[in-house]
């Protein structure tokens, strides 16, 4: 591997994304991408007693599913990178405690999935691992409980608020593709923390958009690519407001992304019928939309060059209450079909 420019890493032996799997909750199952997900749940508890247990079960079952789909035995997976939104990442560590895979718990808020993919591909390209598992989850109810208010509280959500996705995404990265013609991760661009002073926890898209812009522009500068090189540039969960901000700000910086840019938070719900205001958010948003929808598009060669930029808001309820602004982060991976 080799460092390019400020913060991008070019991978000499681009790791394959061997398999992905996604599980989503009932609301996501009612959205426009429903048919792309591996499993849609009928209720948010999924037979468990608490939201937290339900979220652990979602990530656990999704990891089981991706391992089963990949056809490689779990014992051949060298490392796992996983994280979520709950305090101390308990859904991932509790959900994966029985996997017997060496475990790196990571936190990048909603950018966790791509953070895991960045680290996993470096492990593989560096020769430290043959197969790496990346997984993440989020749950609307556990997130509301931890970050906002009890579900039964009769309050109104402002129009800029986003809806935390109940769901999980998981991917297996590998140094071989088992002749499956899998897409490969060619570049990773880890992001910087960018804080433009937004304090409104009900406007996450606006808080994270500057970080996405920074990572996007840095990636393009470092690699010398133009936005039009990519068939699709996809952000994690900027939602409608963040998407518009990113599009406009990129344009003023001289990058036109109008034609090939979209956002997972915008894609996952139908704004008109599902009343999700500014769109979806949460680790599970980019996780499930990439693992479900975009991975299939890549496999079917409908998209051959994808820049996936997962965004995260690095805050918690204590920092909000102490009046802190919301630092944003965005990690990017370039995913390409190199074998025609």
Partner 1 sequence: MDFLQSIDWMQLLRCFVVGGLICIIGQVLIDKTKLTSARILVIFVTTGVILGALGIYQYLIDFAGCGATVPLLGFGANLAKGAITEAQTSGLLGAFIGGVKASAGGIAAAIFFGYIASLIAKPKIKKQ
Partner 2 sequence: MKDIETKQEYLDYVDKKSPNSPILKNCFNAFWVGGLICSIGQIIFDFCKYKGLEDTACSTIVSITLIGVAALLTALNIFNKIGKFAGAGSLVPITGFANSIVSPAIEYKSEGYVMGVGGKMFTVAGPVLVFGISTSVIVGIIAIFFI
Structure tokens at 259: 């034609």
Q: What is the C-alpha separation between 96 and 117, in angstroms, rounded?
A: 17
Q: How many residues bind partner 2 (CB under 8 A)?
A: 31
Compose the 254-293 pattern: x for residues touching partner 1 by CB under 8 A, - for all others.
--------------------xx------------------
Kindly write down the DSSP assignment for every residue of 11-46, as one continuous string.
-SSPPEEEEEEEEE-HHHHTSTTGGGSSEE-SSTTT
Establish if 248 lies at the interface with partner 2 (CB under 8 A). yes
Contacts to partner 1 from residues 42-71, by CB under 8 A: 44, 51
Establish if 149 lies at the interface with partner 2 (CB under 8 A). yes
Establish if 214 lies at the interface with partner 1 (CB under 8 A). no
Residue 87: enclosing H or E segment and its boundaries? none
Q: Pick the closer one to partner 2 by CB: 14 or 210.
A: 210
Contacts to partner 2 from residues 202-241, by CB under 8 A: 203, 206, 210, 241
Q: Where are the alpha helices (DSSP H) in 181-235?
A: 204-223
Compose the 185-204 pattern: x for residues touching partner 1 by CB under 8 A, - for all others.
---------------x-x--
> Which residues contact residue 300 at a Cβ distance below 8 angstroms, ignoring those fewer than 6 apart?
none
Select from partner 2, partner 1, none the partner in contact with residue 244, using the beta carbon and a kind-dependent cut-off of 5 to 8 Å.
Answer: partner 2
Interface residue with partner 2, options 12, 43, 75, 252 (CB under 8 A): 252
By 3-state DSSP, what share of the chain in percent is helix, strand and coil, each rounded to 5?
A: 40, 25, 40
Task: Please check whether residue 15 is in contact with residue 128, taking contact to mean a CB–CB distance below 8 angstroms.
Answer: no
How many residues are given for the chain?
340
Establish if 251 lies at the interface with partner 1 (CB under 8 A). no
> Which residues contact residue 235 at a Cβ distance below 8 angstroms, ignoring those fewer than 6 apart?
212, 242, 243, 246, 261, 262, 263, 264, 265, 286, 309, 310, 311, 330
Establish if 325 lies at the interface with partner 1 (CB under 8 A). no
Compose the 181-200 pattern: x for residues touching partner 2 by CB under 8 A, - for all others.
---------------xxx--
Q: Pick the closer one to partner 2 by CB: 73 or 154.
A: 154
Task: Please check whether residue 286 is in contact with residue 312, taking contact to mean a CB–CB distance below 8 angstroms.
Answer: no
Contacts to partner 2 from residues 84-123, by CB under 8 A: none
Compose the 1-30 pattern: x for residues touching partner 1 by CB under 8 A, - for all others.
--------------------------x---
The two most distant CA atoms of the chain are separated, in Å, by 54
Interface residue with partner 1, options 12, 155, 252, 318 (CB under 8 A): 155
Segments of the chain assigned E as strands: 2-4, 8-10, 16-24, 39-40, 79-84, 103-105, 131-138, 163-164, 167-174, 184-189, 232-235, 261-263, 280-281, 305-313, 328-336
Q: Pick the closer one to partner 2 by CB: 37 or 163.
A: 163
- Phi/psi for 129 (5° steps) reads -150, 150
Least separation in angstroms between CB 50 and partner 2: 4
Least separation in angstroms between CB 310 and partner 1: 25
Q: What is the C-alpha separation between 54 and 76, in angstroms, rounded?
A: 27
Residues interacting with partner 1, by CB under 8 A? 27, 44, 51, 140-141, 149-153, 155-156, 158, 200, 202, 274-275
- Residues found near partner 2 in the complex (CB under 8 A): 49-52, 145, 149-160, 196-198, 203, 206, 210, 241, 244-245, 248-249, 251-253
């Amino acid at each position: 591997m080799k460092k390019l420019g400020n913060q991008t890493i070019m991978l000499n032996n681009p790791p394959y994304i061997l398999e992905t799997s996604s599980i989503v909750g009932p609301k996501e199952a009612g959205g426009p991408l429903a048919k792309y997900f591996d499993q849609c749940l009928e209720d948010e508890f999924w037979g468990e007693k608490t939201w937290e247990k339900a979220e652990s079960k979602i990530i656990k079952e999704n990891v089981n599913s991706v391992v089963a789909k990949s056809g490689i035995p779990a014992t051949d997976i060298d490392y796992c990178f996983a994280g979520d939104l709950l305090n101390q990442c308990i859904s991932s560590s509790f959900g994966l405690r029985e996997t017997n895979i060496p475990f790196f718990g990571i936190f990048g808020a909603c950018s966790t999935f791509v953070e895991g993919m960045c680290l996993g591909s470096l492990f593989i390209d560096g020769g430290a691992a043959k197969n790496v598992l990346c997984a993440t989850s989020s749950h609307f109810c556990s997130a509301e409980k931890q970050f906002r208010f009890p579900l039964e509280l009769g309050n109104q959500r402002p129009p800029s608020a986003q809806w935390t996705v109940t769901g999980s995404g998981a991917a297996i990265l590998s140094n071989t593709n088992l002749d499956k013609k899998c897409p490969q991760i060619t570049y990773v661009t880890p992001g910087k923390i960018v804080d433009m002073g937004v304090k409104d926890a009900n406007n996450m898209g606006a808080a994270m958009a500057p970080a996405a812009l920074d990572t996007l522009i840095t990636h393009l500068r470092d690699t010398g690519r133009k936005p039009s090189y990519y068939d699709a540039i996809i952000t994690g969960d900027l939602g409608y407001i963040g998407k518009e901000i990113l599009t406009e700000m990129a344009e003023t910086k001289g990058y036109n992304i109008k034609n090939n840019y979209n956002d997972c938070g915008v894609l996952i719900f139908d704004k008109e019928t599902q009343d999700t205001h500014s769109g979806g958010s949460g680790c599970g948003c980019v996780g499930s939309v990439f693992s479900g929808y975009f991975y299939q598009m890549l496999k079917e060669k409908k998209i051959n060059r994808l820049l996936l930029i997962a965004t995260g808001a690095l805050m918690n309820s204590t920092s909000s209450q102490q009046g802190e602004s919301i630092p944003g982060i965005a990690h990017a991976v370039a995913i390409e079909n190199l074998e025609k």
